[in-house]
Structure 1
Amino acid sequence: MKTVRIVSAAMLLALSSTALAQQAEQCPTLPADSGLHWDQQTQSDFIVCKASTGDGRTVLNMMLTARDPDMAFNRALRAEKGSFGGESMHWYKLDMGGRDLPGLESRRITVVKLDKNRFAQIWIDAADTAELGNLQNLTQTLNLNSSALAGAR
């Protein structure tokens, strides 16, 4: 009886670690030298990837979804050009209803249509403009796994 429990526990552990490994593959691979790691939340029609620094500060967020986030960005808030997943895009400054809050100069958001029924909503919450530039460059190098949102197509 004790052997059956141990074998059952070992099998459950092996299955859960396999499931976690498969789940982790859905967020793009971060460069080893980035100092960031992903925290991932998966639902049936979207994946949220949050990249955090070693001290726990979340600096890069990405939602991969099969549904159009349908976000309208004000052209006056358009900032830098960039690319993601092979698609050209623009980063936008955050609209806080005309209020000039501290730290807004180092925050950006964008939505990229990757394919039919495949979208990426990306937002950056950098500590300063230097980190913002580094994170924008990093997003251009990220490769999406073909299995991301495969079930939602």
Structure 2
Amino acid sequence: MYPKAYIEFLAHFHGTRDYFECHEVLEEYWKEVDPRNRSSIWVWLIQIAVAMYHDRRGNPNGARTLVKRCLKNKSEHEKELPLLGLDGERLVKQLEEFNARLDEEVPYRSWNMPIIDMELLKEVHLLCQQWGVAYGSPSDMSDEHLVLKHKKRKKSL
């Protein structure tokens, strides 16, 4: 029912906490299905993951810019989110809390998107299990591979 890339996005967001990989997986999908639409729900979700990536690596300005952009565009997507198995109202509230935390300079902390479709939740849990990661565990702040992944990846020519 849901695109494989979306399920992988959610498993990375909630399991591996690899927000960079969230971005990679969903960007590839977005480019396949809706490449020129910068206001796509897929871009909006990618921006949330990238904001989390910036926050964890100690770039609150980058995180704040993206969260504010997501909040500015929330009305475009809030009603779409239930079609993706998410509680749109709750996710927007979480983004508002995230934004407030950034403004108060409170350190990074992991959080989960509000999945309301129990079948989707099962699929995400199963994928996390297959990957050998626990769903909902906090991010490992000492893992430089996660925290600075953009600097560690191999660049293609």
TM-score in same-fold range (> 0.5): no
Q: Which has the higher strand share?
A: 1
**Higher alpha-carbon Rg:** 1
RCO higher in 1 or 2 (8 Å CA, sep ≥ 6)?
Answer: 2
